Structure 1
Amino acid sequence: MSGLITEEGQDDLLERGYSRRQFGRVAALLGMQSAAIAAAFPHLLGAAEAREMPADRDKSGMIRIGSNECWTGPFPAGIAAGEAAVRLGNRYEPTHMRRTLIENVAAVENVPASHILPWPGSSDPLSRVIVTFCSPTRGLVTANPTYEAAWRTADWLQAKSTTVPLKAANRYAVDVRALLAADPHAGVYYICSPNNPTGTLTPIADIAWLLDNKPAGSIVLVDEAYIHFAGTQSAASLVTRSKDIIVLRTFSKLFGMAGLRLGLSLAHPETHQKMMRYDGANQSGTLSIVALAAGGASVLRAQDIVARRNEMIAAREETFAFLKKRGVSFIPSQANMFMIDWKKPAAPIRQAFAAQNIDIGRSWTLWPNCSRITVGSAADMKAFCGALDKIVA
């Protein structure tokens, strides 16, 4: 399998301390799309947790508020653009669709088009960053709990992985100073903001501090999958000032395109070039024209984005008011998910909700008494509150 890695990539891996025996692990990660990785290596991308889901999760009538999906589909403009793209399905990715997506994102984010790279989802670039900038001698540091794909990839590659707990005292933001103290020589410092599973924000000023104080040659990786639900300043504003920051985006969340698989990385062109030196397949090129067209049209829908965000916030705040009234402990969130602390094991409670035809989210190893709840439609959340009354009582 090491033959799938370019000669330049092999030289780089050896120089950074990887052995030739580890080439196969790198090639396995970068030679497949994220869905294939999840099937072949479930311990990497979270498919293992899928086995905890209720067996009847997809039955008719099940309310799905467990996977941070959007309660509605793509924007009408995205659907129309995707339908038009289907008519061009006899062609291999018309280049104007890719170019249009990049130009539209550049205009919205005020980032040069040269700094934007589209992907089939965000799992590939996330794993690729770990391959590129972590090694047996320079590890990864993340918060805990957070989205686990980064540290699972580091573990798979046999690179050092260090976690730092989120703290209630700082509103469950990632403690960037603790990240740096935990490993002052790390290769990657990973920040998910808003964080998954807590939905809590890490201030841009803190991310900028880490960028200014981290060791030379390391990367600050900021995962902004849920940023549109928060409506706050993006770390994309830091991309043009430094080669050492990478911002990840996905269209799977607020844009309602989880099944279409479209993501972005924003970084300096030299940083992107480093990420692409391992395989000749160029995974960023294997993009569906339907996803490209739908994404390119959706990203410009500023009013629709605000309206969808406000609809989610209304449903979320009404749910929070209900939880407060019932005395149920939760972590206030800035995204479309939040954590409830049941004060007892969460797994049986998840099964109890499933019996009420509601699929809620899982718990995290560090917090086994907590469940992640996705904010669905107003009707979804009303049903959740009604079921909670029955289950908790």
Structure 2
Amino acid sequence: MTDFSAALPLDRRRMFQIAAALGTSAALGERALAAPAGQAGPQPSAASAANGLKVAPGTIRLNGNEYWEGPVDDGTDAARAAVARSNYYDPAGERDALIETVATMEQVGADHVVPWAGSGSPLARAVVGFCSPERGLVTADPTFEVAWMVAGYIGAPVAKVPLRASDQAHDVRAMLAANPHAGLYHICNPNNPTGSLTPMADIVWLANAMPKDAVLLLDEAYLHFSGAASGMDLVRQGQNVVILRTFSKIFGMAGMRMGLSIARPDLQAKLMQYDGGIQTLQLPVPALACASASLRRMDQITARREQNTQTREKTAAFLTQRGFPVLPSAANMLMVDWGRPAAPIKAAFEAKGIAIGRSWPIWPTRSRITIGSPQEMDRFCNTVERVLA
């Protein structure tokens, strides 16, 4: 097993690169990522990210992959009770309680679980920790681009591998071939923006075939929408795998900022090496309490998944019947092909009071549509024909 716990030797230039890269983890709004085609790596600010998903009052929000409902009732109650105790940093040990809850559910040691304010920071830190100008990053295209951005800040080469045409899964063999000596291989499963699943057999293959000193970053932000298998067995087996989770999606906690990294302690140490883990200790008590309580009501999360699936498939059928192909999805999003540039269509929907998602440079005629409530998706479908008439 490779020892990842030793800190890298740092010169002043490297420290500046790291500070810039980790600073982006606080600025991950959709607007900040939507740079015009051909523009160099975006330079988002925290202020722009905070307004990245701002829409007019009354607008239906189908643009940010947020869940249309807030936390489950038990989570809301726990957060409300924690507010009254929030004059102290963590008076009831909410951080430790969340760690123990996750460790028990996932059957890993408590030292394998680290909470974060969302999953964006550990994603950025994984790129900084395991990539360099000599050891690059390999991802899919399209996928969530934050890893690309951070690699650009630190001068690490990025290999972007198109999704497999047959099923839109990550093409793991092509990913390994794209850079057989990479430091980090990144898989988002289900993928964002497609919602497509990569078979666990493919993920296991990559974990075993990649260089022995490389790391597989498995982002499972949308896993609970799918009911698919997690890669947690790879962590339990002690492999070089870091799993990211978030409460921002199906748990309805995007504004509360709570996420997790799950991995061996030496891999976790690489994520925390530049600040001694301070960011993992400075977490809002109400969000910690809400997360723990929500995990104890997985029956309600399962019900959310079932409703999301029904609404997503109904919407997909509507679009397909009208000649707008959609990619198969197992998450809370659809990638629809309008057959024409997507940017004007996005603007037309906004004029009708519906904010839909952006397109990706590799697919300029496709838009990502977040699945909202059944009523919101009915309104979206009713608006499609008016927008595209």
The TM-score, its normalising length taken from structure 1, stands at: 0.90
SS of residue matched to 2:326: strand
For the 8 Å contact 1:45–1:148, the answer to whether it is kept is no
Shift of 1:29: 3.5
CA RMSD between the two structures: 2.3
Matching of residue 297 in structure 1 with residue 293 in structure 2: yes
For the 8 Å contact 2:29–2:48, the answer to whether it is kept is no
Structure 2 segments unaligned to the other structure (5+ residues): 1-5, 34-41
Shift of 1:94: 2.8
Matching of residue 89 in structure 1 with residue 86 in structure 2: yes
Task: Within 5 Å, give how 1:41-190 maps onto structure 2.
Answer: 43=42, 58-94=55-91, 96-169=93-166, 171-190=167-186
Distance 1:281 1:298 in 2: 25
Aligned to 1:259: 255
Matching of residue 329 in structure 1 with residue 325 in structure 2: yes
Shift of 1:275: 2.2
Structure 1 segments unaligned to the other structure (5+ residues): 1-7
Question: Which is worse superposed, 225-234 or 45-54?
Answer: 45-54
Distance 2:92 2:270 in 1: 23
CA offsets 1:86-136 (integer angstroms, 9 cap, x no match): 010111123621111111112222222221110011111011111111011
CA offsets 1:53-83 (integer angstroms, 9 cap, x no match): 79xx522220000100001011111100000
Aligned to 1:368: 364
For the 8 Å contact 1:45–1:149, the answer to whether it is kept is no
Alpha carbons of structure 1 residues 209 and 95: separation in structure 2 relative to 1, 3 Å? farther
Aligned to 1:3: none
Count of residue pairs the alignment pairs up: 375
For the 8 Å contact 2:24–2:44, the answer to whether it is kept is no
Equivalent residue letter for 1:340: V
Aligned to 2:310: 314
Distance 2:257 2:322 in 1: 39
Aligned to 1:26: 18
Shift of 1:242: 2.6
Distance 1:392 1:283 in 2: 47
Shift of 1:36: 5.4
Distance 2:111 2:241 in 1: 15
Shift of 1:181: 0.3
Question: Which is worse superposed, 228-237 or 144-153?
Answer: 228-237
Identify the match of residue 345 of structure 1 among 341, 344, 367: 341
Distance 2:51 2:363 in 1: 16
Distance 1:107 1:97 in 2: 15
Identify the match of residue 35 of structure 1 among 23, 26, 29: 26
For the 8 Å contact 1:130–1:154, the answer to whether it is kept is yes
Shift of 1:389: 1.2
For the 8 Å contact 1:108–1:300, the answer to whether it is kept is no
Shift of 1:391: 1.5
Q: Percent same amino acid at aligned positions?
A: 49
For the 8 Å contact 1:173–1:202, the answer to whether it is kept is yes
Aligned to 1:191: 187
Identify the match of residue 275 of structure 1 among 271, 291, 296: 271
CA offsets 1:139-169 (integer angstroms, 9 cap, x no match): 0000000000011100111111111001321
Aligned to 2:375: 379
Equivalent residue letter for 2:280: S
For the 8 Å contact 2:26–2:121, the answer to whether it is kept is no
Alpha carbons of structure 1 residues 252 and 188: separation in structure 2 relative to 1, 3 Å? same
The TM-score, its normalising length taken from structure 2, stands at: 0.91
Alpha carbons of structure 1 residues 69 and 287: separation in structure 2 relative to 1, 3 Å? same
Equivalent residue letter for 2:110: A
